[in-house]
Structure 1
Amino acid sequence: MNTSRMLAFDPNYEPFPCHEGDEVFANGIFQFNISHMMEHIHSGSLIVKTERIDVNRWFKTHYRPSVNEKHLQTVDIKIPVIQAEIRPGKYSIIDGNHRMERAYREGAQYVDSYKLQAEQLVPYFVNKQGYKAFIDYWNSKL
């Protein structure tokens, strides 16, 4: 077990308030406030790695969700997607699946991304239940 990346549960954890209009990514009980993430990335208060994703290679190794065809036409593939480390060393797109799909369909070679490690995700849960579940899940995978 790799204990160096164990996450400690904070019983006083308070999620960021979620306001009407905030974008939220839901993956089961794990719900992240994307609006706050992007705000903090753009303000520089959240420093994240960046990565160019090879679109074709990514689609060969990742699940391809269904997309809303109307929304697909409105997305800008120049806006970076957000990758989140949900399992140790494994990243999932939590914002930008439509951009990835459009890039694939248009034959774009790369899409830029922000890459958040698990430790950076902790402040962005929309509720305590998801936070607690993530801590338990993450620690069980180390």
Structure 2
Amino acid sequence: MEKYRDRRLSKSQRLNEYNLKSGDEYYQNGIFVFNITRLTEYIKNNKEEFEIIEVKVKDYQSMDKGKSLNQEYVATADLTRPLILAEIVPDRLKHGYPDISLDYYSRGFNVIDGHHRLAKAYQEGIETLSAYVVRMEQHIPFMVKGYDKYVEYWNSKLV
């Protein structure tokens, strides 16, 4: 089991910033904003650094039910592209939460790229999709807004 203090963030430790450029895709998760274009490029060039898993479409699709998605874009979504699951809170399974479900959403991982793919897969009856698992240490350089608040949020979840 990882020790919580080993993953504590500080506001001064941010090394790289991938600010948004014109045309970059981004994802806003509450007050936190991620540069999806740069993260996707990084994953493509460094695949060996990322775990790839299969997720159940129905588990994640149920989280998106309230979101309005452009159905024309859903229809063109490429189901061969893996989703991106980001560790938004410390992995509850690895940090000793009792009776935690094994699915990644319950463990603290949110979809930050792939909502249209999830919707299309759900509509087509596809049961699973591939997803990259992106740990906090891997997604932090791609956070373009809300970093200081994220440090407070993350650290508050460590016991």
Task: Flag whether TM exceeds 0.5 (same fold).
Answer: yes
Runs of 4+ in structure 1 displaced over 6 angstroms? none
Partner of 1:87: 89
Of the three residues 108, 111, 116, the one matched with 2:134 is 116
Contact 2:64 2:115 in 1 (8 A): no
Quote the Cα distance in structure 2 between the aligned partners of 1:46 and 1:131.
Answer: 26
After TM superposition, the score normalised by the length of structure 1 is 0.87
Equivalent residue of 2:112, what SS? strand
Structural mapping, 1:1-142, within 5 Å: 2-10=4-12, 13=15, 15-44=17-46, 47-59=49-61, 62-64=63-65, 65-89=67-91, 90-127=108-145, 130-142=146-158
Partner of 2:99: none
CA RMSD in angstroms, aligned pairs only: 2.1
**Measured at CA, do residues 56 and 88 of structure 1 come closer, stay the same or move farther in structure 2, by a change above 3 Å?**
same
Quote the Cα distance in structure 1 between the aligned partners of 2:73 and 2:60.
Answer: 21
Unpaired runs of 5+ residues, structure 1, are none
**Measured at CA, do residues 45 and 104 of structure 1 come closer, stay the same or move farther in structure 2, by a change above 3 Å?**
closer
Equivalent residue of 1:56, what SS? helix
Contact 1:40 1:46 in 2 (8 A): no
**Measured at CA, do residues 6 and 104 of structure 1 come closer, stay the same or move farther in structure 2, by a change above 3 Å?**
same
Cα displacement string for residues 72-127 of structure 1 (whole angstroms, at most 9, x for unaligned residues): 11111111111111112211100100100110110112100111111211101114
After TM superposition, the score normalised by the length of structure 2 is 0.78
- Pairwise CA distance, 1:47: 1.5
Equivalent residue of 1:9, what SS? coil
Quote the Cα distance in structure 2 between the aligned partners of 1:29 and 1:117.
Answer: 19
- Pairwise CA distance, 1:42: 0.7
- What amino acid sits opposite 2:22 in the alignment? E
Q: Percent identity?
A: 34
